[in-house]
Amino acid sequence: MGVDPLENLVDLGWVDVGEWLEYTVNVKKTGFYTIHIRIATPKQGKSLHFEFKGKNVTGSVPVPQTGCWGSDLHGHDCFQEAVAFHVRLTKGVARMRFVPERKPGENDLFTVDKFRFELEEAKQ
């Protein structure tokens, strides 16, 4: 873990094979959402997905190669957004799992900083 000095956020980095992150989220309204992921990786061709109730709800989400790990010597400018579009979520408290997708034997895939959910009002 590191702290982004410009954002004052805690980053979780160097996600390894078999690791995942699980969060409790409170969905305020049933509908379709866009999930924005602030993320960094120096590696090409990486992806992730999100699970709710043990089910992959996003499909594979591509992660941009950012050139560094994020809050290292390159700092805040290295983070970019990966985006999962049109994710149907049901109102209420749920567990969300962030799952890096990788080939067997791969390590140190991402530095993850934060997630932002945006309700897609027009697509209801």
Please say whether the beta carbons of 79 and 6 come within 8 A. Answer: no
Predicted structure pTM score: 0.83
Least confident of 7-21, 41-55, 77-91, 101-115: 7-21
Class of domain 2-123: mainly beta
Q: What is the mean pLDDT of residues 61-82?
A: 79
Helix, strand, coil in percent for the chain, rounding step 5: 5, 55, 40
Higher pLDDT, 71 or 91: 91
